[in-house]
Structure 1
Amino acid sequence: MQNSIGVLVVDDSAVVRKVVGALLQSAPGIHLLHAVADPLLAIERMKHHWPDVIVLDVEMPRMDGITFLRKIMAERPTPVVICSTQTERGAETTVAAMAAGAVAVITKPRLGLKEFLTESGDELIAAVRAAAQANVKRLAARAAVAAVPLQAPVKLTADAILPAAGDARPPLQTTERIVAIGTSTGGTQALEEVLTALPAVTPGIVIVQHMPEKFTAAFAERLDKVCQIRVAEARHNDRVSPGLALIAPGGRHMLLRREGAQYFVDVIDGPLVNRHRPSVDVLFRSVARNAGANALGVIMTGMGDDGAAGLLEMRKAGARTVAQDEESCVVYGMPKEAVKRGGVEKTVALKAIDREILAQLVR
């Protein structure tokens, strides 16, 4: 089928294969190539017809999903959507899958699976469409993934969480510098590349990476082990301090607030903003209001436009703003939209973002 996305489903659950297969077949512009029970069967099918996107389980007989994923990325990089159960162990496994090269992740429960997949059909279809647009060249260069955006009937803006500053006076500058980073599809590996390049002495960093609940804690722990700076999942009222990167927890918004010359984060509930929770726009707006010229805003690889409006607000408030360039993005969606709206002061390659962050120290 010309111009149609061919999908291979690999899952040992007959229910998943049946329901996911039916959802894919019913979606315009997508067709199901095969639905098989394990990676060895998938390899046989792929000898005859290579898929555009693979929907892959993690725990399977004969060969686990991560081993299969690594094999694919080594031999012929292909966009992969991971389906994983949402448990602490599953979270760690899925983070490993992200590092191995998956493009997106759908969480699934152990119980009520058929009902969940039926109700989450739009989410799955959106994940497959997003994966099909991934930059395969970047997948070959470095494995990358992000969470699938949760869908909402109405696309809310950051106004749903925090009103716009309007003509409020920008905050006074202090010696305390802040870096705010927003990213989505492809962001987990991109963040690792940036954060591992930073020395222990660096400005305080606040990060929104689109990712479901349970996964952000495991992701932060993994980064903390390989970085010179400290990395942690943010908790309400954590102080943003030099040498520390705080990652917004999946399923909750994170905002920056200022008390005197110091900065803290508020971790709150609230509606989806730009179909995401956490939302980059929410974080960036709070940084514009409370840090102004003390801040650097960085928007990185990702699908959609979350963060574009907030980055423009940061720039108007006196902050420096940087976007990752198209060549180094897995998906050049969020940076492209930020550039289009005028919120980007400077576009740089992924390998140069750490230098932009360290430049905050001498401002």
Structure 2
Amino acid sequence: MSILAPVKVLVVDDSESNRRLLTELLESAPDLRVVSTAADGNEGLRQVMALHPDVVTLDLEMPRLGGYSFLRLLKSTAPTPVIVISSYAHQADVFKALELGAIDFIAKPSRPTPEAVEKLRRELQDKVRAARQLRPDRAPPPPRRPRGLPLEPSFVVGVGASTGGPPAVQRLMEALSAEPSVSMLVCQHMPRQFTRAFAERLDRLGPFTVREAQEGDVLQPGHVFIAPGGRQLVVYRQGGQYTLGTPPPTMQDKHAPSVDRLFMSLAEVFGARSVGVVLTGMGSDGAQGARSIHKAGGEVWAESERTAVVYGMPQEAVATGAVSRVLPLGEIGPALVELARKRR
């Protein structure tokens, strides 16, 4: 059995203390190796060209050549998976970086308590390990601004995503603009405080109304609800309408938000009319929920390996036997539009 070589990491950050901390956290794992560090984007680009790292961790605010310019130049010269390390105070910066080609981000702890540093260590190591599966050239282009908003009822689709998900969700919304009466419930693995900024960013695209879900929200056509970070997103039937719940996670939940919890809720409430879509992401979240939708007679689709930045979540869902269609990202939206029109 062959043994994989350690994942080579380049740490780009203008703070010496941050470079030292990230290096220590990464190299506490035997399968990860920091090949170098850089204090600005110019130095970082030189190190990429010289050392060919498997993944780069990137601070966005740096002197000389900042994170945005670094991403643009990296994409055109030596495409390499980039994980942004950012504070909660710079949420909008993170989403711009994802649009420029970063494949994921990690939120810096506001206070470096032992618990927060340990959480950072686990998340950092897990996401860097996933770099072996990443294809930075697969990031979908940002959506164009769609126009028009018919208000005819259609159906509800649940969407689950993790690494590489924000641009993929945007691309899916763009395609669904042809049938904006669809209601979308999105579970994107993302920390608390970032999900609201993600919703606000999507809301500016139109024609959908996009918001971070709140307890008691009423499901409406033409609306997209983003599961809040740190909580779950579920659907209830109350009288003649469907309302949303955002309960806290239980001890059994591995993720908050959880694609499994969302899909199981859809299966329970909508039965054979439930539709779940598993997009790019690492891990297996969504597989159990896919089984629930399939058992209820609904449909589960998955993004194909051809376009998924990370094929972990779609692959795990497909392995259950519950997935009826495996499609490239660009074909999922049009196929959902066709399904919505058939079900009117």
TM-score by structure 2 length? 0.89
Unaligned runs of 5+ in 2: 143-152
- The aligned residue for residue 314 of structure 2 is 335
- The aligned residue for residue 299 of structure 1 is 278
- The aligned residue for residue 342 of structure 2 is 362
- The aligned residue for residue 170 of structure 2 is 192
Q: Per the alignment, do residues 230 and 273 of structure 1 end up closer, same or farther by CA in structure 2, a change over 3 Å counting?
A: farther
SS at match of 1:197: helix
Unaligned runs of 5+ in 1: 144-174
Cα distance, 1:128 vs structure 2: 0.7
Q: Are residues 1:235 and 2:214 paired?
A: yes
Amino acid at match of 1:362: K
The 8 Å contact of residues 81 and 131 in structure 1, kept in 2 or not, is answered as no
Mapping for residues 270-309 of structure 1, pairs under 5 Å: 270-271=249-250, 275-309=254-288
- The aligned residue for residue 61 of structure 1 is 63
The 8 Å contact of residues 273 and 282 in structure 1, kept in 2 or not, is answered as no
Amino acid at match of 2:48: M
Distance 1:67 1:272 in 2: 42
Distance 1:96 1:191 in 2: 14
Mapping for residues 1-363 of structure 1, pairs under 5 Å: 3-87=5-89, 90-112=90-112, 116-118=116-118, 120-139=120-139, 142=141, 177-199=155-177, 201-271=180-250, 275-358=254-337, 359-363=339-343
Deviation per CA, 1:107-160: give whole Å up to 9, x if none: 113443787435521221111111332124414x658xxxxxxxxxxxxxxxxx
- Number of matched pairs: 329
Percent identity of equivalent pairs = 38
The 8 Å contact of residues 311 and 338 in structure 1, kept in 2 or not, is answered as yes
The 8 Å contact of residues 15 and 114 in structure 1, kept in 2 or not, is answered as no
Distance 1:329 1:94 in 2: 20
Amino acid at match of 2:331: A
Greater than 3 Å deviation, 4+ residue runs: 113-119, 271-274
Amino acid at match of 2:156: I
Amino acid at match of 2:125: I
Q: Per the alignment, do residues 137 and 273 of structure 1 end up closer, same or farther by CA in structure 2, a change over 3 Å counting?
A: farther
The 8 Å contact of residues 301 and 327 in structure 2, kept in 1 or not, is answered as yes
SS at match of 1:276: coil
Q: Per the alignment, do residues 340 and 84 of structure 1 end up closer, same or farther by CA in structure 2, a change over 3 Å counting?
A: same
Cα distance, 1:104 vs structure 2: 1.8
Cα distance, 1:67 vs structure 2: 1.9
The 8 Å contact of residues 157 and 274 in structure 2, kept in 1 or not, is answered as yes
The 8 Å contact of residues 203 and 357 in structure 1, kept in 2 or not, is answered as no
- The aligned residue for residue 171 of structure 1 is none
TM-score by structure 1 length? 0.85
The 8 Å contact of residues 165 and 280 in structure 2, kept in 1 or not, is answered as yes
Distance 1:344 1:189 in 2: 23
Amino acid at match of 1:302: G
Deviation per CA, 1:77-119: give whole Å up to 9, x if none: 11111110112xx111111111111122111134437874355
